[in-house]
Chain A
């Protein structure tokens, strides 16, 4: 049935439920390196957050660690680049953001996941969605372009 009921939110709800800040760690840099180049035997740091993936004596690509500002806080991510200079994968390592900071769009309805706002996070059972991901994704995209430009511009 789709009979509509009018739901009156208690005024207290909006004011008392304050969005918490949070950070989500998806993976470590070492994990990202290993997943991008499973056959690599070592990762040799070169300039500017970049590592060269080595399989024996042969270079099989690069993993560049970078961070961009999401809305207010940093997003850590890696770009894995194949020997052909093309992006192999982009992986978000860590996302730090506050739920309360929707300053860009005053009225948008996003969903996010978690327990009730004030509760303690339980790793493994609580999943928090990335809210405000639009702008963040845009910044990551810009960051990847910058990384690629830097990689093609020098040192390779």
Chain B
């Protein structure tokens, strides 16, 4: 059974192999889980955790949903591990470029000079505090993957034995079934780079294009180096396989910005990657298995 609905700025597709009477309610729960993440982590919705944090966390500690806390914990950890390349406080850069809107509580689009792992504190009693008033976060680089994970968890909690969740290319497959996935070639969008067989694993891709989670604008690229405010250099696209879609989603940004130097971050999360640089170079980690010709 397959269903699709618009969420997270893309069309989210859920497929389950089970056809019984439980399949429909399970898919409903999975879409609910995605709607929750959308509601909590949107940069736009006035009542989202992200908006509340950006509005208030520099003034007083803010309480957020456990799911938001999980994403923040991961994002701050990856900020440190990636040497600052992955940074959710990139929001100011995106605002300065007009890729994210300025809200009424934003006095400035001047980037916070500290990295997010220094500027943002998660207190032991599960509150969030910003130490720098210039800090503004955007979870667009990680929330879509997290939403996919939540949907997959919801399906499994409902007893679905095998399924796949796909939010515009951020994919998680679970259960005793291998799902074929083609990686599109960023140099020739009608061609494929390779075919993967996905089983109990996630894959995510990034490229020099706008991330739809933020905005309806399809122009420009959402990937910005938080250290410089610059776009990725010659890397046209990157894909990452990992044990969770949140990890895969976030690591694509690290690979886009660092290329081969993303090794340490990939290794830590036991993730593998492939990227395309310029017109000729395709590089893959040696554990990017099943790298073979499509067709």
Tell me whether B224 is interfacial, beta carbon within 8 Å.
no
Q: Do residues B284 and A4 form an inter-chain contact, with CB atoms below 8 A?
A: yes
Q: Do residues B190 and A130 form an inter-chain contact, with CB atoms below 8 A?
A: no
Q: Do residues B239 and A109 form an inter-chain contact, with CB atoms below 8 A?
A: yes
With A24-B2, A130-B4 already in contact, the answer to whether A110 and B267 are too (CB < 8 A) is: no
Residues 2-36 (chain B) with a chain A CB within 8 angstroms: 2-6, 9-11, 13, 15, 24
Contact with A along B168-208 (1 / 0, CB 8 A): 11010000000111111111111111010000000111111
Q: Do residues A92 and B6 form an inter-chain contact, with CB atoms below 8 A?
A: yes
**From residue A139, how far is it (CB to closest CB) to chain B in Å?**
10
**From residue A86, how far is it (CB to closest CB) to chain B in Å?**
14
Contact with B along A91-120 (1 / 0, CB 8 A): 110010001101011111111111111110
Return chain B residues, CB-CB under 8 Å to A138: 9, 212, 216, 218
Q: In the complex, A24 Cα to B14 Cα: how many Å?
A: 13
Q: In the complex, A27 Cα to B5 Cα: how many Å?
A: 12
Secondary structure dominating the interface of B: strand
Nearest chain A residue, comparing its CB with the CB of B268: A2
Which segment of A11-19, A46-54, A57-65 sits at the interface?
A: A11-19
Return chain B residues, CB-CB under 8 Å to A27: 3
Q: Do residues A6 and B190 form an inter-chain contact, with CB atoms below 8 A?
A: no
With A111-B182, A116-B294 already in contact, the answer to whether A2 and B191 are too (CB < 8 A) is: no
**From residue B4, how far is it (CB to closest CB) to chain A in Å?**
4
Q: Do residues B166 and A130 form an inter-chain contact, with CB atoms below 8 A?
A: yes
Q: In the complex, A13 Cα to B191 Cα: how many Å?
A: 7
Q: In the complex, A130 Cα to B260 Cα: how many Å?
A: 30
Return chain B residues, CB-CB under 8 Å to A7: 274, 282-284, 291
Nearest chain B residue, comparing its CB with the CB of A18: B190
Q: In the complex, A2 Cα to B259 Cα: how many Å?
A: 11
Q: In the complex, A111 Cα to B267 Cα: how many Å?
A: 23
Tell me whether A141 is interfacial, beta carbon within 8 Å.
yes
Q: Do residues B206 and A109 form an inter-chain contact, with CB atoms below 8 A?
A: yes
Contact with A along B21-59 (1 / 0, CB 8 A): 000100000000000000000000000000000000000
Q: In the complex, A1 Cα to B286 Cα: how many Å?
A: 7
Tell me whether B246 is interfacial, beta carbon within 8 Å.
no
With A17-B192, A18-B190, A89-B5 already in contact, the answer to whether A2 and B287 are too (CB < 8 A) is: yes
Q: Do residues B209 and A108 form an inter-chain contact, with CB atoms below 8 A?
A: yes
**From residue A81, how far is it (CB to closest CB) to chain B in Å?**
15
Return chain A residues, CB-CB under 8 Å to B184: 102, 108-112, 131
Nearest chain A residue, comparing its CB with the CB of B267: A2
Given contacts A13-B192, A14-B191, 11 further A-B contacts (CB under 8 A): A2-B286, A3-B263, A3-B286, A8-B282, A18-B190, A26-B3, A108-B207, A114-B180, A129-B169, A137-B212, A138-B212
For the complex of A and B, 9 pairs with smallest distance between CB atoms: A109-B237, A102-B189, A14-B191, A2-B263, A92-B4, A100-B190, A116-B295, A109-B207, A108-B207
Residues of A within 8 A of B (CB): 1-10, 13-19, 24, 26-27, 35, 89-92, 95, 99-100, 102, 104-119, 126-127, 129-131, 133-138, 140-141, 144
Q: What are 9 inter-chain pairs, A to B, with CB distance below 8 A?
A: A2-B262, A2-B272, A5-B283, A19-B192, A111-B182, A112-B184, A129-B171, A133-B212, A144-B6
